[in-house]
């Protein structure tokens, strides 16, 4: 396979606090904004814009105030008219689209990385709507090779770009960087440090890429969402009647076979996985998904071939708003 030539990444955005109670990203963004005030960064081949996604939710230490901001970046919502009754998060998504997009336009950020936490034991995950974004996949492989403290995986939500609903979809390239386990509303040093290292490795890769480094192709492991499974619920009250089984809890990305324990009901009964094929669980017992009806997600695993890539240096523009 021949080398794919791609334009330099001259404008990069790192966002935190898109969910206001996922604190690693909140403190990472605050810390980097503080440092930036103290010292102008040296000569970089690209600008890095730090963004607090949902400052109102951050202030209240809640996921969102009126609507989940990270579901507001579909084309339809970004183009919807604003009235007095429009939820704050829809207004904010359109602001962010102005700052980092417009989505799908040549003016959009070259790369958007949106920082998230989960209560699930997922390590560090790239989450994207594409399995052919060579930039994201090469950065993923770089982190997977270099990050020693935490496993690194790539999750693909197979939706058309039009229906992509999350913040990073505003950039030309982009991914959510999801790290856990960490309870929402708290920060654990090991998770914070892993996020800092992940961001540093991403910036290092961009530096190498922009300077003309040739990155070899190869193949990488990708998990693709197959389906979500809800908790068993009381048919009348909709209250959950079981929790994730102790044998499944914290075992994200460990293959789940038909017949394996899935839930332990509050009355003590084990409920088993009735699917026909073994699949990989993730977002196991993610706290924020109780309200959306997801006890866990299931993925298939495959290898994706990625081409060698190199920056088309002719088109390199120096970043200006460092």
Q: Is 168 annotated as a binding residue?
A: no
119 belongs to the binding site for a copy of itself (CB under 8 A): yes
Nearest C-alpha neighbor of 126 from the set 170, 175, 174: 175
Q: Evaluate whether 298 touches 23 at the Cβ level (below 8 Å).
A: no
Q: Is 178 a catalytic residue?
A: yes
Which residue of 4, 208, 226, 287 would you call a contact of a copy of itself, by CB under 8 A? Answer: 287
Q: Is 138 annotated as a binding residue?
A: no
Buried b (16+ CB within 10 A) or exposed e, 282-309: bbbbbbbbeeeebbbbbbeeeeeebbbb
Calpha distance 142→162 (Å, rounded)? 28
Q: Evaluate whether 290 touches 231 at the Cβ level (below 8 Å).
A: yes
Which is catalytic among the residues 178, 197, 236, 291?
178
CB closer to a copy of itself out of 33 and 255: 33
Which residue of 79, 105, 132, 186 would you call a contact of a copy of itself, by CB under 8 A? Answer: 186
Calpha distance 272→157 (Å, rounded)? 25
Query: What number of other Cβ atoms are within 10 A of residue 2's Cβ?
Result: 7
Residue with tokens 């044998």: 247
Task: Give me the 145-184 binding string for a copy of itself, x by CB under 8 A, dash otherwise.
Answer: ------------------------------------x-xx
190 belongs to the binding site for a copy of itself (CB under 8 A): yes
Size of the site for a copy of itself (CB under 8 A): 34
- Tell how strand 123-128 and strand 47-52 pair up: unpaired
Calpha distance 317→257 (Å, rounded)? 51
Calpha distance 271→282 (Å, rounded)? 18
With CB under 8 A as the contact rule, which of the stretches 3-11, 77-85, 259-267, 301-309 interacts with a copy of itself? 259-267
| Element (DSSP H or E) covering residue 234 | none
Q: Is 156 annotated as a binding residue?
A: no
Residue with tokens 């997009």: 101
220 belongs to the binding site for a copy of itself (CB under 8 A): no
Using DSSP's 3-state secondary structure scheme, residue 178 falls into strand
187 belongs to the binding site for a copy of itself (CB under 8 A): yes
CB of residue 285 to a copy of itself, shortest distance in Å: 6
291 belongs to the binding site for a copy of itself (CB under 8 A): yes
- CA end-to-end span of the chain: 36
314 belongs to the binding site for a copy of itself (CB under 8 A): no
Which residue of 245, 262, 279, 297 would you call a contact of a copy of itself, by CB under 8 A? Answer: 245
Contact positions vs a copy of itself (CB under 8 A): 27-28, 30-31, 35, 61, 119, 181, 183-190, 192-193, 239-240, 243-246, 249, 264, 266-267, 285-288, 290-291
Specify binding-site residues for Zn(2+). 19, 22, 116
Residues known to be catalytic: 178
């Amino acid at each position: 396979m021949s080398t794919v030539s791609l334009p330099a990444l001259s404008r990069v955005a790192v966002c935190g606090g898109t969910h206001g109670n996922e604190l690693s990203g909140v403190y990472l963004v605050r810390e980097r904004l503080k440092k930036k005030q103290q010292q102008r960064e040296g000569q970089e081949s690209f600008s890095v814009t730090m963004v607090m996604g949902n400052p109102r939710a951050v202030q209240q230490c809640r996921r969102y105030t009126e609507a989940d901001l990270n579901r507001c970046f579909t084309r339809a919502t970004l183009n919807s008219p604003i009235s007095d009754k429009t939820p704050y998060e829809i207004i904010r998504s359109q602001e962010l689209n102005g700052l980092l997009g417009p989505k799908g336009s040549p003016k959009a950020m070259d790369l958007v990385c949106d920082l998230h936490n989960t209560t699930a034991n997922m390590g560090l995950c790239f989450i994207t709507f594409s399995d052919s974004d060579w930039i994201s996949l090469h950065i993923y492989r770089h982190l997977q090779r270099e990050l020693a403290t935490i496993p690194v995986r790539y999750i693909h939500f197979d939706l058309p770009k039009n229906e992509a609903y999350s913040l990073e979809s505003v950039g030309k390239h982009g991914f959510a960087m999801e790290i856990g386990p960490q309870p929402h509303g708290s920060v654990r040093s090991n998770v914070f440090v892993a996020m800092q290292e992940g961001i540093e490795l991403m910036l290092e890769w961009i530096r190498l890429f922009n300077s003309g480094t040739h990155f070899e192709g190869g193949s990488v492991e990708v998990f693709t969402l197959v389906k979500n499974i809800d908790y068993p619920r009381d048919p009348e009250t909709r209250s959950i009647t079981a929790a994730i089984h102790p044998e499944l809890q914290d075992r994200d990305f460990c293959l789940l076979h038909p017949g394996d324990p899935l839930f332990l009901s509050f009355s003590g009964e084990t409920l088993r996985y009735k699917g026909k094929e073994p699949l990989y669980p993730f977002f196991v017992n993610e706290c924020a998904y109780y309200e959306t009806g997801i006890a866990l997600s299931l993925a298939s695993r495959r290898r994706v071939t990625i081409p060698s890539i190199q920056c088309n240096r002719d088109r390199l523009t120096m970043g200006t708003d460092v």
